[in-house]
Amino acid sequence: MRGHGFTLLEMLLVLGIGTILLAVAVPNVMPAIEAARLSSAARDVASGLRFARGQALSRRQEVRFTLDVAGHRYQVSTRPKAFGLPSAVALKLFTASGEVEGEGVGSIRFFPDGSSTGGRVTLEAAGRKRLIDVNWLTGRISSSAEEADDS
């Protein structure tokens, strides 16, 4: 008479099948996770830029969006809190030379009429790029995606 339960052979078989499934699934899921991190970081930066522009318009004063590329964080001058970005996402900031505040730190300034100093924030991860552009004349923030260059 056989007892209730699983034999050692059945348990090893189930563990082997589970290991094979994980070995196949994990490499396929990781790029999706990295792409999600990139999209989330891009939305966060674009939101911070839009907030800064909105504050400049509503308060009728200059507001700075400051990006610390090395520290992976940004801050809006009307708020004391700095917001972090994932370290797996590479950042670049292109802004007016007068807005560079130090090594890897620079700002995009928004004026009370909605215009700005203009610039671009580039976020890159997992072979993908997100570009967030700030129009200097209108202050409009736009986002686009492109494939990253391997060179």
Break the chain into its structural domains and give their ranges: 10-147
| Residue-wise DSSP of 64-108 | EEEEETTTTEEEETT-S-EEE--TTSEEEEEE-GGGEEETTEEEE
25's tokens = 């699934």
DSSP, collapsed to helix, strand or coil, labels residue 1 as coil
Task: Please say whether the dihedral angle defined by the alpha carbons of residues 128, 124, 133 and 77, taken in this order, is positive or negative.
Answer: positive
Question: What's the confidence (pLDDT) of residue 4?
Answer: 76
The model's pTM: 0.80
**Distance in angstroms (rounded) separating the CA atoms of residues 143 and 128:** 13
Mean pLDDT by 10 residues, the chain (151 residues): 78 94 82 89 97 97 97 96 95 95 94 96 93 97 80 48
Q: Which CATH homologous superfamily contains domain 10-147? A: minor pseudopilin epsh domain (3.55.40.10)
Do the beta carbons of residue 82 and residue 74 sit within 8 Å? yes
What's the CA gap between 117 and 134, in Å, rounded? 8
Which H or E element spans position 47?
helix 8-59
